[in-house]
Each structure stands twice: as C-alpha cells, then as structure tokens.
Amino acid sequence: MYVCKVGSEVAPNLTQYMSEGVEDFLQTLKQGLWPEGEADVNMGEDKDTLAARVLSPPLEWMMQCLAQRAPHHVLQSVLRQCEGGEGLGQNLLVAAVLITFPHHFIAQNAIALTHLIAGCSHPGKAQHELLCDLGRCVNQAAPSQHQQLPLLNAVWKFVTKIPDVKDYLSTAGIWLEFTAKHFTAKTCVGSMEIIHRFLELCLSVGYGSVVICIL
C-alpha cells in the first residue's frame, strides 16, 4: 500500500506495479494476517472482521489510484484477479472495484460482476451491499442493451433471496430504478408485484427476518 502511495506521487503515469500490488494483497490474505484466535483475544473481534475493517480503506484508495490512471486492459486484469480470488480477499477486491472503477467499465462487465458477487459469501461486505453498489453504477451508466435483461434476471434471483426486510427493500429499490429506466411498464409492474408479495409475507410473520424464494 505504501509503495502505491509513494509511486502515485513520483511516477503517476505508471500503473503496472499497482496491479501487482493487488495480487500481493490477495496472497497476503490467503496466508493469514494473525495467528488463529489472536484477533479474537486481543482485539475483541474475529480476524476476518478485523481484516475487512482494517484493509478496506487502503485497498479502496489503491484501487482509486489505479482506476484514475490505468488503461482499460489493466482494469480488465484486475477483474480477472477478482475471478481468481477467494474468500475475504475476493470479497474486499470486488467491493473496491464496484466503488472505485469508472461506471462505464462496471456497466460493460456487469454480468461478470454479478457472478462474482454470487461467490462473495465470505465475511466482508454483505452480498446485498455489493448488489446495491452494482445497481448504483448501472443506474449511472447503462450496460449495452443485449446485457440488460440477462443482468436484471440474474440480479433478481439474488434479490428475492435476501432474508432481511430492510436489506431487501434497499436493494430492490435500486434495481427497480434500473428496471424503470430500461424496460417497459409491464416489466416494472411485474417487479413491483414481486416486492408486494414479499411485503405480504413479511406482514404474515410480523416483519421478522424471513427466507423467501419467489420463482
């Protein structure tokens, strides 16, 4: 991280070392940052939660520097690193890409990012938060027309399985905006009916957390 900070000041046109720094970051997380149980005892939280809290800000800063300067093929290489990542490292990297990379790049790769989010079940940023970040991006820069329906279908498969009412509604609201921008009134009504059925189920169980799968 420090190398990226200094490098962005003394050689702002160079970016390859930043991409290599991302790979180093992933390898570091695979090896582990603390001995088993040490984070729990000394800092009051489990090691993955601690790693996510400590490493997210510097990683996001590094990715922001990369996104501002790197050519398209370097951004694509980072996306491939996301695909090759695993566990917490993949989660944090996908989260950083979604909030730092240009909206048009996210839109071009929205379906691939949806598949990556599906694999981000490791502690870190929650899946519904990642879906919200993705939705905000594609609401700013639209994916190509042939991607829009497959993207919407893929996202709604995850949205309808979000168990918490608040998380469900916040995520559905963002993607309802996407639906309204790019689809017919009939499609929007269909999405709203799905949300309505979810709320009816919530009412029937007293607004508790529910697990729902709407086919």
The whole-angstrom separation of Cα 155 and Cα 99 is 18
Shared-domain flag, residues 118 and 201: yes
Residues 70-90: pLDDT tens digits? 788 888 888 888 887 777 888
Shared-domain flag, residues 87 and 109: no
Structural domain boundaries, residue 50: 1-101
Residues 112-170: pLDDT tens digits? 999 999 888 767 789 999 999 999 999 999 999 999 999 999 999 999 888 888 899 99
Shared-domain flag, residues 95 and 32: yes
- What is the mean pLDDT of the segment spanning 46-57? 77
Shared-domain flag, residues 93 and 106: no
Shared-domain flag, residues 185 and 154: yes
Shared-domain flag, residues 204 and 112: yes
Shared-domain flag, residues 57 and 109: no
The whole-angstrom separation of Cα 85 and Cα 115 is 13
- The residue with greater pLDDT, 11 or 196, is 196
179 burial class (0-12, 13-18, 19+ CB within 10 angstroms)?
Answer: buried
Measuring CA to CA, which residue among 26, 115, 7, 133 is closest to residue 70?
A: 7
Shared-domain flag, residues 115 and 195: yes
Q: Which of 76, 101, 126 is the last residue of a domain?
A: 101
Measuring CA to CA, which residue among 102, 91, 103, 172 is closest to residue 127?
A: 91
Specify the pLDDT at position 41: 46
Q: Which of 58, 85, 101 is the last residue of a domain?
A: 101
Tokens of 58: 């510097």
The whole-angstrom separation of Cα 141 and Cα 212 is 30
Alpha helices in the chain (DSSP H): 2-10, 16-31, 38-43, 47-69, 72-84, 87-100, 103-108, 110-118, 127-140, 145-159, 165-182, 185-204
Shared-domain flag, residues 17 and 82: yes
Number of domains forming the structure of the chain:
2
Shared-domain flag, residues 129 and 91: no
- The residue with greater pLDDT, 178 or 203, is 178
Residue whose structure tokens are 């916040």: 170
Q: Are the CB atoms for 27 and 85 separated by under 8 Å?
A: no
Q: Are the CB atoms for 109 and 145 separated by under 8 Å?
A: no
Q: State the pTM of this model.
A: 0.81
Shared-domain flag, residues 142 and 115: yes
Q: Which of 71, 101, 131 is the last residue of a domain?
A: 101
